[in-house]
């Protein structure tokens, strides 16, 4: 059982890394034409493409994060970069283009599984600071930060 628990994270990380490194390089080098999309899915992708910057940025992030996953370096950072991408891909396929839903679900499960395996890296995001610490934090409002002189004329 120790072998499985040692090898599984590497396999999951490698699969997700290959998916995103491959998608990134394919998109950046335009190695294949995207499939034609109709209806709301086509309008959505057309709007993103019309922005001009979106797909090169997306594919660069995918490639970078995929390479980080394949190298095994900074895996939590790579998962953080990929989380909104995976969520949007899943929502797109579940809601607008259901033909790709099985692959989107697979990638979503890989992302969730790897995030769970690296949950220690994300634990501080979900811990609430004690009241004493929160009272000592910086003011959260510009009016509070400027002091009582703000409202005076």
Residue 126 has pLDDT above 90, yes or no: no
pLDDT tens profile 38-67: 899 999 999 999 999 999 999 999 999 999
| 20-42 pLDDT, tens digit each | 999 999 999 999 888 888 899 99
The residue among 85, 84, 96, 91 whose CA lies nearest residue 35 is: 96
pLDDT digits (tens, 9 = 90+) for 129-145: 776 665 566 666 666 65
Of the candidates 55, 53, 80, 44, the one whose C-alpha atom is nearest the C-alpha of residue 65 is 80
Kindly report whether the global pTM for this prediction surpasses the value 0.85: no
**pLDDT tens digits for 56-109?**
999 999 999 999 999 999 999 999 999 999 999 999 999 999 999 999 999 999
DSSP assignment, residue 6? H
Stated as kind and residue range, the H or E segment containing 23 is helix 2-28
CB 88 within 8 A of CB 32: no
> Please, what is the angle between helix 101-117 and helix 75-95, to 10°?
150
- The pLDDT assigned to 153 comes to 53
Q: Which residue has the higher pLDDT, 59 or 124?
A: 59
Residue 137: the pLDDT is: 63
φ, ψ for residue 53, nearest 5 deg: -90, -20
């Amino acid at each position: 059982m120790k072998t499985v628990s040692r090898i599984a994270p590497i396999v999951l990380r490698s699969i997700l890394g290959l998916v995103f490194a491959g998608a990134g390089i394919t998109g950046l080098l335009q190695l294949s034409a995207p499939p034609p999309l109709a209806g709301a899915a086509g309008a959505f992708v057309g709007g993103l493409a019309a922005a001009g910057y979106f797909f090169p940025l997306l594919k660069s992030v995918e490639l970078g994060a995929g390479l980080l996953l394949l190298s095994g370096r900074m895996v939590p950072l790579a998962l953080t970069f990929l989380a909104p991408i995976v969520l949007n891909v899943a929502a797109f396929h579940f809601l607008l283009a259901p033909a790709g839903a099985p692959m989107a679900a697979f990638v979503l499960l890989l992302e969730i599984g790897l995030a769970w395996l690296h949950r220690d890296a994300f634990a501080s995001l979900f811990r609430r600071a004690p009241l004493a610490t929160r009272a000592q934090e910086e003011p959260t409002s510009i009016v509070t930060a400027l002091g009582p002189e703000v409202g005076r004329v």
